[in-house]
Amino acid sequence: MPDRIALRNRISELEISKMFKERLLDSSNNVIAYLEPMFDKEGQIEDFVIKYVNNRIEEITSLETKDMIGMRWLEYDAQNLTNGVFDYAKNCFTTGETFDYISKYVFGDQVVWFSARLVKLEAGVVNFLKDISKEKEYEEQLLVQNRLLIEAEHVASIGSFRWDLNKGTLDLSENVYRLLHYEPFEIEPTFEGILKFIHKKDIKWVREVIEKSRKTKERIDITFKIVTKTGEERYVNTIGEYYPSANNWYVVGVFKDVTKQIEQESILQARNAELKKSNSDLEAFNRIASHDLQEPLRKIQMFISRLYDEEKGKLGPRSQNYLDKVISSTERMRNLISNLLSYSRIEEVDDTPMRIDLNEVLADVLEDLGQRIEETGASIDADKLPEINGIQFQLEQLFLNLIGNSLKYVEAGVVPMIRIKNTLVSVDRFNKISNLSPGNYHKLEFTDNGIGFDDQYGEKIFEIFQRLHGKNEYSGTGLGLAICKKIVEAHNGAIQGTSKNNQGAVFTVYLPSLSK
């Protein structure tokens, strides 16, 4: 009777075991194997026999259970020896202790990671293996990305942080430590601890900003000075955003070393201020000098003219010659001063631009030059000129200087011929002229038959005090064309000069058209 019961029990056990084998075990998502040890002559485990392995192995790898069962474990796959799993299994069997581990297998092209457990069961060990290849892959990717991030932070001089508002703890990226001249993770990162690096001049307002933002949860974006471990002062820009979590807030953000930018910026600012100052100094000096110089000069001329009146005819030829030279020199000086004065005044005109008819400007200027034109017999031929927006007296000065030059710089005995041509041009990205902004421009070409200039001086002639001729050859102050340039530029135009020696000059003036 007990035999029968035992037999029945045994049968049902076997049935259950079979069911386990074929159904339950196979439907597990883990690989399950049963291994029985083989002993050598000294009684040491030399290998295991694979007594059982479930189907799951076929799903993960290209192995087949029927090829495995009954095989010697190490003979079937020597990787178990090299990755240490054989040793774990031996230990498990001899000590009876359950053993958890992670192992890696390579099957052909396939790399499989298992998180596994070995449990002693009767005369062998059961090996449960969970495929964690996917997780491992993500982990690897994460590692790579982390490494990339660390690299990127390093390259960009950026460090990142995460600040737990409740605990006051800080997570800092490696580069934050480096920015402070520490080795990564060398110091304990706390909020209070990190504030100690802020320069004492900045700490007060930085604290205030942070305190305020803690209440408002507004983004922090501040730049302050820090003092590093080595005592070096650096500028750091800190940006932080508040993020809520359950019952807590985090600030996540970056530190960026902006020392270079700040230094360059301040150098630039200083240079700009200097430039502005020296510019306005220069203009003020110009104005004062020319105005105050005019006074004594006027008196000198006055006295000379009286001297001339009174001594006329009484002077010897040498003295007469000296007096003539004094007169012409003072005249030169007066020209120079009045030109300087108008040069320094071009930009400070308060007159609002008005609609100006350039035909009238030309007529006025020709009238002013009437005597010279008559003396030289010059001919001036002009197209119909446009109306533009501008400052009357400046445009008169422009025409006066350009036409005056053409009358002045001619070979002795040559009758000056001046032609003024007017065309409309359009400046856009295909047709760029000087640095004019896009739009329509009147192109006024002043062509003469004078001595011209060497084309290599095309730019130079517009610079202040550039004279291409000896003083005695042709009278000039070296300011005429500089004034022209300043006037044209004040009218948002451009001026260019071209010439070949002895073949006349062409001065081209571009002035913005009223039709945009």
Partner 1 sequence: MTKMKILLVDDDEDDREFFADALVGVNMNTQLQQLDNGKSCLDYLMEQIENLPNLIFLDLNMPIMNGFECLAEIRKNPKLKELPIAIYSTSSSDKDIEQTFLRGANIYIKKPSSFEDLKKSLTQVIKMNWAYHMDDFKKENFLLRI
Please name the helix (run of DSSP H) or strand (run of DSSP E) that holds residue 156, with its range, or none.
helix 133-156
Residue pair 425/440 in contact by the 8 Å Cβ criterion = yes
Q: Which is nearer to partner 1, 302 or 415 (CB)?
A: 302
Residue pair 235/258 in contact by the 8 Å Cβ criterion = yes
Structure-token pair, residue 103: 């192992």
Q: How many Å apart are CA 488 and CA 106, to the nearest integer? A: 80
Smallest distance, Å, CB 407 to partner 1? 23
Burial of 451 (0-12, 13-18, 19+ CB in 10 A): buried
Smallest distance, Å, CB 315 to partner 1? 17
Q: How many Å apart are CA 327 and CA 329, to the nearest integer? A: 5
Q: Which is nearer to partner 1, 251 or 340 (CB)?
A: 340
Smallest distance, Å, CB 195 to partner 1? 58
Q: Which is nearer to partner 1, 297 or 410 (CB)?
A: 297
Strand locations in 14-137 (E): 31-39, 45-53, 99-107, 110-121, 124-131
Q: How many Å apart are CA 103 and CA 92, to the nearest integer? A: 16
Residue pair 61/107 in contact by the 8 Å Cβ criterion = yes
- Closest to 100 measured CA to CA, from 91, 109, 112: 91
Smallest distance, Å, CB 349 to partner 1? 9
- Closest to 165 measured CA to CA, from 234, 251, 82: 251
Smallest distance, Å, CB 278 to partner 1? 24
Q: Which is nearer to partner 1, 233 or 324 (CB)?
A: 324
Helix (H/G/I), strand (E/B), else coil: 189:
coil
Which is it for strands 387-390 and 417-427: parallel, antiparallel or unpaired? unpaired
Q: Which is nearer to partner 1, 72 or 325 (CB)?
A: 325
Residue pair 33/21 in contact by the 8 Å Cβ criterion = no
Structure-token pair, residue 197: 């690096």
Q: Which is nearer to partner 1, 42 or 295 (CB)?
A: 295
Contacts of the segment 362-366: beta carbons below 8 A, 24+ positions apart:
362/399, 362/420, 364/396, 365/396, 365/399, 365/400, 365/403, 366/403
How many C-beta atoms surround the C-beta of residue 152 within 10 A? 12
- Closest to 52 measured CA to CA, from 69, 27, 77, 67: 69
Q: Which is nearer to partner 1, 341 or 468 (CB)?
A: 341
Q: How many Å apart are CA 250 and CA 244, to the nearest integer? A: 6
- Closest to 161 measured CA to CA, from 203, 189, 198: 189
Q: Which is nearer to partner 1, 217 or 291 (CB)?
A: 291
Smallest distance, Å, CB 302 to partner 1? 6
- Closest to 489 measured CA to CA, from 435, 422, 427, 415: 435
Q: Which is nearer to partner 1, 301 or 466 (CB)?
A: 301
Q: The dihedral of CA 293, 294, 296, 301: what is its sign?
A: positive
Q: Which is nearer to partner 1, 219 or 291 (CB)?
A: 291
Please name the helix (run of DSSP H) or strand (run of DSSP E) that holds residue 28, with its range, or none.
none
Q: What single letter denotes the amino acid at residue 212?
A: K
Smallest distance, Å, CB 362 to partner 1? 22
Q: Which is nearer to partner 1, 393 or 474 (CB)?
A: 393
How many C-beta atoms surround the C-beta of residue 114 within 10 A? 23
Which is it for strands 417-427 and 379-382: parallel, antiparallel or unpaired? parallel
Helix (H/G/I), strand (E/B), else coil: 2:
helix
Smallest distance, Å, CB 386 to partner 1? 25
Smallest distance, Å, CB 295 to partner 1? 6
Residues that bind partner 1 (CB under 8 A): 291, 294-295, 297-299, 301-303, 305-306, 309, 334, 350, 393
Q: Which is nearer to partner 1, 104 or 334 (CB)?
A: 334
Q: Which is nearer to partner 1, 196 or 299 (CB)?
A: 299
Smallest distance, Å, CB 345 to partner 1? 8
Tally of helices (H runs) and strands (E runs) in the chain = 17, 17
